[in-house]
Structure 1
Amino acid sequence: MVLNEHTIGEVKKLSYRPDLPMIVQSDRTILLEAQHPLFNEARQALAGFAELIKSPEYIHTYRITPLSLWNAAAAHIAPEQVTEVLGTYSKYGVPSTIVREIHETMKRYGLIRLEKAADQLLLTGDDPLLLQELTSYRSISSLLEEHREEHEYPVKPYARGLIKQELIRLGYPVQDLAGYTSGEDCPVSLLPTTASGKAFSLRGYQQEAVDAFHAAGSALGGSGVLVLPCGAGKTVIGLGALCQLQKATLILTTNTTSVRQWISELRDKTDLDPAMIGEYTGEQKEVKPVTVATYQILTYRPDAESDFPHMELFSKRDWGLIIYDEVHLLPAPVFRVTSGIQATRRLGLTATLVREDGREEDVFTLIGPKKYEMPWKVLEEQGWIAGATCQEIRLPFEAKWREAYAHAGARQKFRIAAENPRKLDVVRKLLDRHGNDRVLIIGQYVEQLEQMAQLLDIPVITGKVPEKERESLYQRFKAGDLTRLIVSKVANFAVDLPDANVAIQISGTFGSRQEEAQRLGRILRPKQKENTAHFYTLVTRDTREQEFAMNRQLFLVEQGYKYDVIEIESLD
């Protein structure tokens, strides 16, 4: 091999540094040693531009994807910062092909832009040849008006969302600088003292999140997603954005309980007249300057052939802002409507960008890119959320259940494992261990939960329980009259039980990382006494449930939590 100046440089870059924790591979995967002293530091650095794929005991695997890099670019992370992180922690340096791909991929964000001139929406960019190439695709040309200038292509009025979806599929995410309609005015301010008499202001990171979304009112702001832990005050951040814009606002959230919590926060922390706040649910249909609705009511229709009668809520007022709470759960029909309302400001709130249906690209294009993220562990260190210990407790089957499991189909196998009767014994032990704590027992299967509620004499909340009864049980738990509560997935989202400090997960939705985030979030509100929470997951050993649990724990590991696996025999 003849060494010239270039190849010598490559050899130097790829020289072996055994004291570092990471290997960057040419297929865009990254291997990170979990036991290395620099693990936490490197993990936090990777979080801004890479996705955790798997996390066994010793080596965690990350992947750099185009979408992870475009989100980083939208958050003003430069390609040089990404390659610097990789170079700082990599044993072998960074392959030159990866460096080149990172730069090329990240620089695609903003190459193609949507802008507005007079009343015309224009697809534009600095490279006329690239524009000519992309607009020659039938999927793009069908969304354009007659061509006018070599660097400006008029877009059909209805196609602002559609053309962004098509271009990201071609590998070119659009930077949308076309601005927004003003929307109906709605004067509103945050109160310095809440209606309940407590001093109030946005925390530093909450104001940072609002500012990142608003971008001083420029075209760079007004659409995007803010990623913060459960318990970090995402609702308050939504109120901050509303007060920053002072426009009529539609807030979409997961269930009626969440709707009423938003309304409670609006009444407690803003100077809005209660008559200006509307609830739009299965029980009430009010359309006010600030309206809070559920995704369920929007996606209701009498039958599969009918239209969605409540989607007209999007046009009932001249909204200046739409807030999508728990944006990772946004249903497909709401995506379709959102595609057509790109001139309205859009704010997504979530604890995790992971979607089980793989539609992260649609969140990026239709709601907006990630504009702000606050790591869970950083807020824990600052005392804004509780610390958490996470344990998976593995237990065996009895012989007759093992036989039923062996003869079941794949989906039924998971349920048989999830409903293992021996979990009741473990729950009893954990309740004894946490006799003075506030405990949530969380599960997926209603029959399992109802049976456990009867055997343990603990109240249960499922979808069958009327809304008023749910509210009563939540209030009793908050007041301390109840210290144990069994809940189904109806409590996964936006249920505020600040004193809960123990969660026992007895069954879940297959390998859902987003559900793991929400369930841990139920117990992370800061505590007045010991600011520590305990999260237990009960898993039947050597079953499909154990396989899915490995995927669920990815979220916990990604956020920096230590995840211990213990056998039932060692549970004292």
Structure 2
Amino acid sequence: MSDNPLIVQSDLTVLVDVSAPRYPDARDALARFAELVKSPEHIHTYRISPLSIWNACAAGVPIDEIVGALADFSRFAVPAHVLTQVRDFAARFGRVRIERDPASLGGEQLLVFTSDAVLAEELCHGKQLSALLTERVWPNCFRIRQIDRGRIKQGLIKAGFPAEDIAGYSTGEALAVTLRTVTRHGVPFALRDYQDAAVQAFHAQGGDRGGSGVIVLPCGAGKTIVAMGAIAAVQANTLILTTSVSAVRQWIAELLDKTGISEEMIGEYGGATKAVRPITVATYQMLTHRARTSGEFTHLALFDERNWGLIVYDEVHLLPAPVFQITATLQARRRLGLTATLVREDGREDDVFALIGPKKADVPWKVLERQGWIATAVCTEVRVPLPEAARLPYAVAESRHKFRIASENEEKTPVVRDIMARHAGEPALIIGMYIEQLETIAHSLSAPLITGTTAQRKRDLLFEQFRAGLIPALVVSKVANFAIDLPDASLAIQISGTFGSRQEEAQRLGRVLRPKAGANQAHFYSVITADTVEQDFALKRQLFLCEQGYEYAIRDAAELRVDASGGTGS
């Protein structure tokens, strides 16, 4: 039909015309089995991949529904080989099934079934699985230990046969949790529709298909609230893992504000305080601490301290390797991952699928922006020339040092002042990577600086003063990239970053996306040195945001300075 929104292409990409009448229904159908790649104004691009189809299968989407949606919403005939490939991808999911062994004492052993004996033979001779599939019960069945459940799933997905895990979960120690209808601060509170849908998709009424998975929502859209909804659904002791002590305390404040959990039931595990309680919040850094490089991880035993019914992984795209490792042995516990993007710079998205679970919810950033749930953001790249004195050192430097010379360009400091003048009165974050550069800018702006060496007490005080409007601007290092709630920040100026990290770009924009009173408007500036490797890396960094539908205006420093002197600009 000519007014249908989808154009399915031979390379498994799907173009979506957002102006077509059936676009909303097509988008909702497509989101279940394809990954959004780009979402500019008029034509969105999705990609069908083995992992996207396996995500759909794990969520219980029938293959006939996937094929039917492609045919129903497509403007032209769907290429036959695309439908064949989609069916082939789906056919691989569930050819291996993990179930609890009813004959084992206490359910400590599991059974791995394959669809046929030939596949069983292939898997048990494979490099990654041979050491685990040692006890063959029947030609197509192996008995494994509970502790090997995660490692088996990792090996299977890398072999191209993701397991359907229906062995279920331990209930954990019970804990009565209710969500407030009015927060402690007297504000009416309820889950938004998309937050409630995410909770229901994760929990699945407590069935075998629920209890593990990842929620993908932009910063400021309330991932913490989704997690609280999941805790209330599970009604059990919960371990929450996050990125910093500041984030730990924000979690605790949110739990006290929006649930009926009392203060003595919540434990902070980190630094000087290591309280393990029915709800315990800890940092990844604490869990991966060890006295020496080759030593044991000191605090991984926290995973076994209580009978947890749920483990929440905040910013799951940052999950460190040791936590992946211990999570492989924790497959009997429910697991919830939270993230703004499943992009991992190390390419371990399939491990997130295998060990945490499939994607359960993913709402496009621009959809939430249009609905007013996150701020409207204007992104601008400001290009600054390299000073004459730095040109020769840059020319002869090695590639890695070239990036640092460009990143620390001293001409960025006056540009930051110009941007601040352009947005006078707006709460601002200046974010960078190099400490000396941050110190220089903090001194120039007479603004406080927060780095990794800033004492936690001072850090918390400065964040609180910023929230209260007592500090108009904060200069921050990478410590503010993740899980810091600064709702009033409406201006972010990025002066240096981690090479081409798309993940970091998304997180830094997220610092200013929380909804705001009035125009609900945010501005995100990246200040980069023109005609250098930093400009090349900036393009890679912007890729993720461009794919989410954001556009970058390109300005040069001189043009910005003229605008700033004449008014606030746009």
TM-score w.r.t. the length of structure 1 is 0.90
Cα deviation, residue 106, structure 1: 2.4
Aligned equivalents of 1:199, 1:261: Cα separation in 2: 19
Cα deviation, residue 411, structure 1: 1.1
Amino acid of the residue matched to residue 149 of structure 1? W
| Equivalent residues in 2 for 1:137-152, closer than 5 Å | 137=126, 139-152=128-141
The 3-state SS of whatever aligns with 1:529 is coil
1:489 aligns with one of 478, 488, 499: 478
The residue aligned with 2:251 is: 262
Aligned pair 1:153/2:138, yes or no?
no
Aligned equivalents of 1:260, 1:363: Cα separation in 2: 26
Cα deviation, residue 56, structure 1: 11
Aligned pair 1:109/2:93, yes or no?
yes
Aligned pair 1:24/2:9, yes or no?
yes
The residue aligned with 1:338 is: 327
| Equivalent residues in 2 for 1:400-549, closer than 5 Å | 400-549=389-538
Cα deviation, residue 405, structure 1: 1.4
Alpha-carbon spacing, 1:312–1:524, altered in 2? closer, same or farther (3 Å): same
The residue aligned with 1:213 is: 202
Alpha-carbon spacing, 1:91–1:429, altered in 2? closer, same or farther (3 Å): farther
Contact 2:146 2:329 in 1 (8 A): no
Moved more, 243-252 or 551-560: 551-560
The residue aligned with 2:566 is: none
The residue aligned with 2:84 is: 100
Cα deviation, residue 90, structure 1: 8.0
2:241 aligns with one of 229, 241, 252: 252
Contact 1:510 1:548 in 2 (8 A): yes
Contact 1:390 1:562 in 2 (8 A): yes
Moved more, 298-307 or 99-108: 99-108
Amino acid of the residue matched to residue 107 of structure 1? A
Aligned equivalents of 2:370, 2:330: Cα separation in 1: 40
Aligned equivalents of 1:434, 1:81: Cα separation in 2: 50
2:54 aligns with one of 70, 73, 77: 70
Aligned equivalents of 1:240, 1:474: Cα separation in 2: 27
| Equivalent residues in 2 for 1:385-396, closer than 5 Å | 385-396=374-385
Aligned equivalents of 1:287, 1:537: Cα separation in 2: 41
2:301 aligns with one of 312, 316, 319: 312
Contact 1:144 1:156 in 2 (8 A): no
Amino acid of the residue matched to residue 325 of structure 1? D
Aligned equivalents of 2:536, 2:497: Cα separation in 1: 12
Contact 2:218 2:365 in 1 (8 A): yes
Question: How many equivalent residue pairs?
Answer: 554
The 3-state SS of whatever aligns with 1:196 is coil
The residue aligned with 1:362 is: 351
Identity over aligned residues, as a percent?
53
Contact 2:40 2:548 in 1 (8 A): no
Alpha-carbon spacing, 1:87–1:188, altered in 2? closer, same or farther (3 Å): closer
Structure 2 unpaired stretches of 5+: 564-570
Contact 1:74 1:371 in 2 (8 A): no
Aligned equivalents of 2:528, 2:8: Cα separation in 1: 32
Cα deviation, residue 52, structure 1: 6.8
Cα deviation, residue 124, structure 1: 1.7
TM-score w.r.t. the length of structure 2 is 0.90
Alpha-carbon spacing, 1:219–1:529, altered in 2? closer, same or farther (3 Å): same
Aligned equivalents of 2:63, 2:407: Cα separation in 1: 44
The 3-state SS of whatever aligns with 1:189 is coil
Amino acid of the residue matched to residue 82 of structure 2? I
Alpha-carbon spacing, 1:62–1:202, altered in 2? closer, same or farther (3 Å): closer
Amino acid of the residue matched to residue 524 of structure 1? L
Aligned pair 1:177/2:166, yes or no?
yes
Contact 1:223 1:368 in 2 (8 A): yes
The 3-state SS of whatever aligns with 2:138 is coil
Cα deviation, residue 77, structure 1: 4.8
Cα deviation, residue 158, structure 1: 2.0
Aligned equivalents of 1:59, 1:344: Cα separation in 2: 41
Moved more, 71-80 or 324-333: 71-80
Alpha-carbon spacing, 1:507–1:91, altered in 2? closer, same or farther (3 Å): farther
The 3-state SS of whatever aligns with 2:273 is coil
Contact 2:215 2:338 in 1 (8 A): yes
Contact 1:377 1:559 in 2 (8 A): yes
Cα deviation, residue 413, structure 1: 1.1
Alpha-carbon spacing, 1:553–1:74, altered in 2? closer, same or farther (3 Å): farther
The residue aligned with 2:550 is: 561
Aligned equivalents of 1:346, 1:61: Cα separation in 2: 30
Amino acid of the residue matched to residue 74 of structure 1? A
Contact 1:54 1:551 in 2 (8 A): no
Aligned equivalents of 1:398, 1:509: Cα separation in 2: 22
Alpha-carbon spacing, 1:318–1:44, altered in 2? closer, same or farther (3 Å): closer
Contact 1:86 1:93 in 2 (8 A): no
Amino acid of the residue matched to residue 519 of structure 2? E
Aligned equivalents of 2:142, 2:212: Cα separation in 1: 23
Cα deviation, residue 136, structure 1: 3.9
Alpha-carbon spacing, 1:198–1:59, altered in 2? closer, same or farther (3 Å): closer
| Equivalent residues in 2 for 1:192-211, closer than 5 Å | 192-211=181-200
The 3-state SS of whatever aligns with 1:347 is strand
Cα deviation, residue 548, structure 1: 1.4
Aligned equivalents of 1:453, 1:517: Cα separation in 2: 24
The 3-state SS of whatever aligns with 1:178 is coil
Cα RMSD over matched residues?
2.9
Aligned equivalents of 1:348, 1:400: Cα separation in 2: 48
Amino acid of the residue matched to residue 312 of structure 1? A
Contact 2:31 2:362 in 1 (8 A): no
Contact 1:145 1:156 in 2 (8 A): no
Contact 1:459 1:486 in 2 (8 A): yes
Contact 1:556 1:563 in 2 (8 A): no
Aligned equivalents of 1:508, 1:182: Cα separation in 2: 43
Contact 2:37 2:547 in 1 (8 A): no
Alpha-carbon spacing, 1:435–1:23, altered in 2? closer, same or farther (3 Å): same
1:377 aligns with one of 366, 374, 385: 366
Aligned equivalents of 1:62, 1:198: Cα separation in 2: 39
Aligned equivalents of 1:565, 1:78: Cα separation in 2: 45
Moved more, 103-112 or 489-498: 103-112
Structure 1 unpaired stretches of 5+: 1-12
Contact 2:383 2:554 in 1 (8 A): yes
